Amino acid sequence: MPHTNRRVFIRQYREGMPALEDFGIEDVTIADVPAGHAVVRVDTLSMDAWIRTTLTPGSFHETADLGSTIRALGVGQVVESADPALAVGDWVYGMLAAQTRALVPAAALTRLDLSNSLQPADYVGPLGLTTGLTAWVGLVAVAEVRSGDTVLVSGAAGAVGSMVVMLAKARGARVIGTAGGPDKCRYLLDRLGADVAIDYKNADLAAEVAAAAPGGIDVFFDNVGGEILDVALANLAPAGARIAICGAISQYSDLGNVRGPRNYLKLAERNAVMKGFVVTHHAARFPEAKAEIAALMQAGQLTLPEHVVEGIDHFAEALLLLFAGGHTGNMLVRP
């Protein structure tokens, strides 16, 4: 049976931050479902910073073709299947993209485990690849957080940052989060349980971090890059500090002129380690991560707040809002 799909596509490239006129919206028909494929009704899409890097030629993620549907990870329900591995009604996760119906190879989809009161949206939230799993991998597998550590989190009011704050607190760390504006700082303190919140827009960032961590930073989880990375390097603990480079949202609008750290020699001086990571390289530890996160959820110790934008027609607006810092917690689009 044919399926009507409303999709958001890339109309034109632009240097710097995209604008609404760079995106188009159209209705198309999925007439046939080839063998090995399934049609998925898209339920919830995850708004992630990496999407921005697919919209500019020469970025470190593969540039999407003009006219192509904007890439986005999401969850949805199978409405037609031409593969025995998936049945109509199955809930799945994968690269569903900015659209209402997705024609996807079945092999590229993961069937969701909805036992123990888990919901489909949890897989683009606390258990999501680009949210909870990314936070866990960077904090636990890469930075090896320990009870008693002082942990600094940049971009702490975003989806990954929020998860890092909660996971670090659950593991017995003292957590300092940076965010833009008093409302976001209150969110860090009141909703997430951070010990200290620093408003980088209205404070002397270097002075505030130094005051908040007089003994130095044991773990820095960086989502932002730029100034905060240099500040963290200047305030590392005397020995054995670990920096996990997750992202650099402050740099994504000018990838041809990325600002690198000036204080990198502190790594040698403080016998510290700075390591970038790609979450999928740690897939062997996903079961461990999911088990810990799910247990915290079920115990009521971890709840990831959501900022939901309704309607696929507002996908581009949601993406721009993500980079304007106009949200807290996990930003989602429900087509």
263 falls within a domain: yes
Long-range contacts of 319-324, Cβ-Cβ distance < 8 Å, separation of 24 or more: 319/18, 319/47, 319/51, 319/52, 319/70, 320/17, 320/18, 320/19, 320/20, 322/47, 322/49, 323/17, 323/49, 323/52, 323/249, 323/252, 323/253
What is the per-residue pLDDT for 242? 98
Q: Do residue 52 and residue 159 come from a single domain?
A: no
Q: Do residue 44 and residue 180 come from a single domain?
A: no
Grouping H, G, I as helix, E, B as strand and the rest as coil, residue 325 is coil
CA distance 179 to 174: 17
pLDDT in tens, 56-98: 776 556 788 999 999 999 999 999 999 999 999 999 999 999 9
293 falls within a domain: no
Q: Do residue 54 and residue 167 come from a single domain?
A: no
Contacts of 3 (CB under 8 A, 6+ apart): 29, 30, 39, 79, 80, 101
pLDDT mean by block of 10 residues, the chain; 335 residues: 96 88 97 97 94 78 88 98 98 98 98 91 96 98 98 96 98 97 97 97 94 98 92 96 85 62 93 96 97 96 96 96 89 97
Number of domains comprising the chain: 2
- Domain of 311 in residue numbering reads as 3-125+304-334
Question: Domain holding 67: CATH number?
Answer: 3.90.180.10
pLDDT in tens, 259-311: 778 899 999 999 999 999 999 999 999 999 999 999 999 999 999 999 999 99
In SS3 terms, 30-82 reads as: ECCCCCCEEEEEEEEEECCHHHHHHCCCCCCCCCCCCCCECCCCEEEEEEEEC
Tokens read off for 276: 């970038």
What is the per-residue pLDDT for 174? 98
Contacts of 114 (CB under 8 A, 6+ apart): 91, 120
